[in-house]
Structure 1
Amino acid sequence: MTKPISVQLFTVRKALTADREAVLGRIAEIGYRWVEPYDPLADPKGFRRLADDLGLGVSGTHAYALLSMEPPAVFDAIASIGSELVIVPGGIAHEEFTTRDGLARTADLLNGLAEQAGRLGMRIGYHNHWWEIQPRIDGRHAIEVLADLLAPEVFLEIDTYWAAVGGADVPALLGRLGDRVLALHVKDGPVVEGEPHTAVGRGAMPVPEILAAAPDAWRVVELDECETDIFAALADSHAYLTSLERS
C-alpha cells in the first residue's frame, strides 16, 4: 500500500520558529496528515500535543543531535514526539564518502547508533545529499557501497533531488537499493546546485518514475529554498502527488 504524503518541516523553518501552531495548522489545512520534524529536541512534548490536536502523525524525524550529544537524551526526545524512524541527515565529513575506509567508518557509526535505537524500538536511517552520490567506487555511487556495509536494520531516506544533482539516474538507483529505502525526499526544481526549488511537478525531476521505483517508501515533500510562497508550493506539491495516486 502506498505510504501517505509527509512534509519535512525544514521547508517552513522560518515560519515555524515564529508561530509553530499557525504553521502546523496551515500544513494540516492543505491536507498533509504526516510531518517529519528536523529538530526533535525543540519542545518535544509540546510538539506532540499540538500535532495530536491537529491530527498530524510523525512519519520520521531527522536528528543531527545524535552526532553531537549523548544519544540517550536525543532518543528520549524522539520517543516524546512519537517517531520510530530516526534519520541522520548528514553531519559526517564529506571526505568519508570518497574512500572505502571512510565508508566503513561511516557504517560503523550508523550501525552503532542503530544498535542503541533498536533497544528502544526505533530504527536508524541515513539521508543523503549530493556528496554521497558524486564519488564513485568501482563504478558505483558511494551511497550504494555504504548500503552494503550497513546492518540490515539501517535504512536509507533517499533525497531524490540531491541524488540527481549528484549525477544519479534516480529511478535506477532506487531500483538497485531496493527495500533498503524506507523514505524519499520528494522535491523538484532545475536540478542545479544552488538554484531554488519549485513545487513538486513544476521542475525537471521525473517524479512519476521515481515514485514508481520505490512504491512502498514514505513520500516526504521538502523544498530547501523556494522563490514562490512556500505554503502555495506545498499545496501545489500535495495536489500534484495526490493526482498521481488517482491516475
Structure 2
Amino acid sequence: MQRRSFLKNATALTGGAMMPNALKTTRVQQPKKIGIQIYSIRRELQKDKVGPLKTLRDIGFTHVELYGYEQQNKKGSILGYSLKEYRKLLDDVGLAATSSHLEPPLKSLYKFGDGGGTGKGERSIQIETYTKGNAGAILEFWKRAIADHHELGVDVLVQPAMPIVNKLDDVKRVCEIFNQTGELARQANSRWGYHNHSAEFKRIGAKRGEDWSPEMTIMKDSYPSEIFYDFLLTHTDPKLVFFEMDVYWAVMGQCDPVVYFNRYPGRFQQLHIKDRDILGSTGFMNFENIFKAAYATGGLKRYYAELEYPSTISGASASQMEAVRQSYEYLAKSSFAK
C-alpha cells in the first residue's frame, strides 16, 4: 500500500478534520490526570534538572514517565541522580513518577529518519539481537532494574528498543525473554511493557531498509508473512507483558492504532500521545477516534503526552516548554481524553 493511500484511508487520521479550530471542547469539571514523558523536555533538562519539572507541575501535569535510567558501578541512577535523590526531587516538585523507559545495555542502532516536519522516513531504536549467550545478562539487568525502580517508587517499566530480528527464531527468542522479564516484574508486584516506534510494523525477516507492501506476502525462502509487532502481541503472555503504543509511530508504520485496539483488546495499557508537532496542531492524527477506541476496548490505564519535534511544521518559534504547554491545553480541553 502506498503511504499516500494509507494516510487517506486510515481511521486514525483526520484528513484535516481535527485542526485546532474544529476541536470539540468541553468545560473541565475536574482536573484531568495528564502525564508526560519527560523526554519531551530533554533540552530544558540539559540546562536545569529541577526548574523544568516545576514548570510541568505548574502547567498541570500530574505524573511523568521517566527516562535516563542507568546501571553503573552497581548503583542505579536517573539522569545523574541517585535513586533516592531523584525520588526526593520529584516529591519536592510535586510530580508522581508512574512509569519509566529503559533498555538492556546492549549495542544500539538508531535510525531517526525524518519523522517530524515532513512525516517521511521511519524511527527505530534497535538493540543487538537477543541470543542464548546474552539472555542471562538481559534478565539480570531487568531483575536489578525492577528492584531499583521500587526504590524510586515506580512499578511500571517499559522497553522502548526493538531487538534486531533477522529470522523467525530471533523473534521467538525475543518473546521468550519478554515473557521471562514480565514474570520477574510480576513476582516483584511490578508491570513490564514494550513501546514501539515504526520499524516494528515491518515483516519479520525483511532485509534492512526494505519496505514492505501487500504484494510481498511470502517471498521465496525468506520469511513468514507476519508483522513483527503482531508476532509480539500473539506470542507474549497478556498476564506478563503489556504494550504501550506510540500512536504516532504506529501511523508512521502505516498501521492504524484503532485497528490494533480492536484486534487485541486489553493489551494496550498505556499510550504515547504524539503528533508531528504540538498536539492537535497539524490535523494529522485523529486523537478522538484513538482515545474512544482505547477506552472502549479496555485495558488503558494511563497515557503520556510526548513531543519529539515541536514546531517543525508550523514554523512557529515556540520553545520546547511552550510546545508542551500548548499540548497540555489541547488534552485538558478535549472532550475525549479522560
Q: Shorter-chain TM-score: which interval?
A: 0.7 to 0.9
Distance in 1 of aligned mates of 2:105 and 2:335: 35
| C-alpha contact (below 8 Å) 2:162/2:196 kept by paired residues | no
CA contact (8 A) 2:161 2:196 kept: yes
Q: 1:111 aligns with which of 154, 158, 179?
A: 179
Query: Match of 1:209?
Result: 289
SS of the residue corresponding to residue 70 of structure 1 reads: helix
Count matched residues. 234
Report percent identity of matched pairs.
Answer: 27
Give the secondary structure class of the aligned counterpart of 1:27: helix
Gaps of 5+ in 1: 190-197
Indicate conservation of the 8 Å contact 1:11/1:224, yes or no.
Answer: yes
Moved over 3 A (4+): 65-69, 136-141
Task: Return the alpha-carbon distance in structure 2 between the equivalents of residues 20 and 236 of structure 1.
Answer: 21
TM-score (norm 1): 0.86
What is the CA–CA distance in structure 1 between the aligned matches of 2:336 and 2:184, rounded to whole Å?
40
C-alpha change, 1:142 and 1:70, in structure 2 (3 Å) is: closer
Distance 1:170 1:179 in 2: 13
Q: Which of 233, 237, 242 matches 2:323?
A: 233
Identify which of structures 1 and 2 has the higher relative contact order when contacts are C-alpha pairs closer than 8 Å and 6+ apart.
2
Q: Does 1:147 align with 2:176?
A: no
State the distance in 2 between where 1:127 and 1:118 align: 18
The residue type equivalent to 1:51 in the other structure is L
User: 1:238 is paired with a residue of what secondary structure?
Assistant: helix
Q: CA deviation at 1:46?
A: 1.6
1:1-247 matched pairs, under 5 angstroms: 4-40=33-69, 41-42=77-78, 43=81, 44-65=83-104, 70-93=141-164, 96=165, 99-135=167-203, 141-152=227-238, 153-189=240-276, 198-203=277-282, 204-215=284-295, 216-227=300-311, 228-245=318-335
CA distance 1:245–1:53, change in 2 (3 Å): farther
Local SS of the residue matching 1:223: coil
- Structure-2-length-normalised TM-score: 0.64
1:100-155 superposed Cα distances (whole Å, 9 cap, x missing partner): 43321111121111122222111110000111113278765421221111122210
Q: Measured at CA, do residues 168 and 99 of structure 1 come closer, stay the same or move farther in structure 2, by a change above 3 Å?
A: farther
Q: Does the C-alpha gap of structure 1 residues 7 and 78 become closer, same or farther in structure 2, counting only changes over 3 Å?
A: same
Cα deviation per residue 1:153-191 (whole Å; 9 max; x = unaligned)? 2100001011000000121122212211010010001xx
Q: Residue 292 of structure 2 contacts residue 336 of structure 2 at CA under 8 Å; is this kept in 1?
A: no
Residue identity in the other structure for 2:229: I
- Find the aligned partners of 1:175 and 1:4 in 2 and give their Cα distance: 25
